Amino acid sequence: MMMQPTPLKPNDLVAGLSEARLLAVIRGNDADASIAAALALVEEGVKYLEIAITTPDAQRVIETVCEHAGPEAVIGAGTVLTVDDVAAVLGAGARFILTPSLAPSIAEAAERGVPVIAGAFTPSECYRGMELGASAIKLFPASAGGPEYLKAVRDPFPDIPFIAIGGVGQAEAVEYWRRGALAVGVGGPLVGDAASGGDLAELRSRARAYLQLAADSRG
């Protein structure tokens, strides 16, 4: 069993994502390729990563990435739905969790003091997610509403940290940041097929492009 990492406080996750502006989402169909993709992203300077537990052998993927990514990387687990899921990913070393919906995992993780990014889309869901103990809201699928929808949802909830996830290409990322997204979560447009055995060189190139956009967005 790997040594457990230092607990991450919810406020520290929010502050860190606000600075980084980018969360990489790994959802592959090959465990070893997912590990290689995640570590390549870290080498390029991506600090925050989500590894979806739908990835084959996800616990091993999370544990291996946490072991080799270094202290600057912050590894979370995504698609965490149940109480048992929470226990499993924390045991593997994940430091925060993400959900695709208002799942039982939100309250469970919050009770453990673990930062949670809760999946929601409607204003009512966003508000309820924060009530359940979320540290931030994952606006998902963001592409269903786009940047203007994010702005509309933020208007009545200016204090909720929003992360736009789902179909966020490079041009869309810029627009989400302009409309107040704390960060964007990017899977396919960034990772491509690298987590399924595809080209890591192309992944690295896309990572550098997103990181440059994130840096530019900070002014």
Residue 3 has pLDDT above 60, yes or no: no
Task: Spell out the domain ranges in the chain.
Answer: 10-217
Q: Which two tokens stand for residue 210?
A: 């997103």
Percent of the chain with pLDDT over 70: 98
Percent of the chain with pLDDT over 90: 96
- Is 138 catalytic? The answer is yes
What fold, for 10-217?
A: TIM Barrel (3.20.20)
Q: Residue 194: CA atoms inside 13 Å, Cβ hemisphere, count?
A: 25
Q: Which of 208, 198, 192, 216 is nearest to 27 (CA)?
A: 192
- Is 44 catalytic? The answer is no
Mean pLDDT of the chain: 96
Please report which confidence band the pLDDT of residue 1 belongs to, taking 50, 70 and 90 as the band edges: very low
Type of residue numbered 46: V
pLDDT digits (tens, 9 = 90+) for 60-71: 999 999 999 999
Residue 187 has pLDDT above 80, yes or no: yes
pLDDT at residue number 218: 86
pLDDT digits (tens, 9 = 90+) for 163-172: 999 999 999 9
Please report which confidence band the pLDDT of residue 6 belongs to, taking 50, 70 and 90 as the band edges: confident
Q: 50, 63, 108, 172: which one is catalytic?
A: 50
Residue 5 has pLDDT above 90, yes or no: no
Tell me if the bond preceding 123 is cis, omega within 30° of 0: no
pLDDT digits (tens, 9 = 90+) for 75-104: 999 999 999 999 999 999 999 999 999 999
pLDDT digits (tens, 9 = 90+) for 19-28: 999 999 999 9
Q: 47, 63, 108, 138: which one is catalytic?
A: 138
Kindly write down the DSSP assignment for every residue of 111-154, as one continuous string.
HTT--EEEEE-SHHHHHHHHHTT-SEEEETTGGGTHHHHHHHHH
Residue 2 has pLDDT above 70, yes or no: no
